[in-house]
Amino acid sequence: MAVADCLAGLVRPADTVARWGGDEFVIVCEDTAACAPGATALADRIQAGVAACCEASEGLIVSVSTGIAIAPTGADPERVLAQADAAMYAARQGGGARREIHLAAG
């Protein structure tokens, strides 16, 4: 719950945060400024914010592996989630506490 609360405080009011399962969350952001730069800035803010928030509130050391899928307007949501999931697993395989970007096809 601490991670969910932290995530909700790190995104814009129009963004959607959902628990995907286990220790995985999905954040849906539309109109991220300049796509990849905006998405990576958000991922970096989440990495730092969750680590600081959880350590302060729960005494835990938490790292975040982030998978980013950048998709065109109207892209199939299931394909976008699959790309984000693949990117997250690539980040985890790279040692964790990282971010990976995949471009999702329409």
In whole angstroms, give the CA distance from residue 104 to residue 82: 9
What would the pLDDT profile of 29-64 be if each residue is shown by its tens digit? 887 655 788 888 889 999 999 888 877 777 777 889
Instruction: Assess contact for 106 and 71: CB atoms under 8 A.
Output: yes
The region, left, alpha or beta by phi > 0 then psi within -120 to 50, assigned to residue 95 is left
Residue type, 96: G
**Domain assignments of the chain as residue spans, ordered by start:** 2-103
In whole angstroms, give the CA distance from residue 78 to residue 81: 5
The three-point CA angle 77-8-49 to 5° equals 110
In this predicted structure, what is the pLDDT of residue 98? 94
pTM of the full structure? 0.85
What homologous superfamily is domain 2-103 in, according to CATH?
Reverse transcriptase/Diguanylate cyclase domain (3.30.70.270)
